[in-house]
Amino acid sequence: MRRYVCIDPKAMQLHGPAVLAIEMLSADYNARFETLAHHRIMKEPRRYQTSHAGFLVVRHAGTPGAYETWVARHVFVRQYRA
């Protein structure tokens, strides 16, 4: 996973100054959630009829409050920079 810095003040306030992320389709995140949710702290995904481009994001990485979620590409690129 790669580290991304938050450039959106509102997102920074909610989720911190940086995240770890990797590109992932929503369908792949859904499958990951079904397999790993009982082992990890993960935000339940939205259920789409089709798969969408986006990112698997680890928020609050390295802290007890760390969790995984999926963010649509168009949202992610407005909020984060490598």
Burial class (CB in 10 A: 0-12, 13-18, 19+), 41: middle
Q: Report which DSSP code applies to 49.
A: S
For the question of whether the overall pTM of this predicted structure is more than 0.85, the answer is yes
Provide the pLDDT for residue 17: 95
Instruction: Give how many domains the chain has, as a whole number.
Output: 1
* pLDDT (tens digit per residue) in 11-64: 999 999 999 999 999 999 999 988 998 888 888 887 777 789 999 999 999 999
Q: Which domain holds residue 57?
A: 2-81
Any alpha helices (H) in the chain, and if so which ranges?
A: 9-15, 26-36, 73-79
Neighbours of 62 (CB within 10 A): 8
Report whether 40 contacts 27 (CB < 8 A).
Answer: no
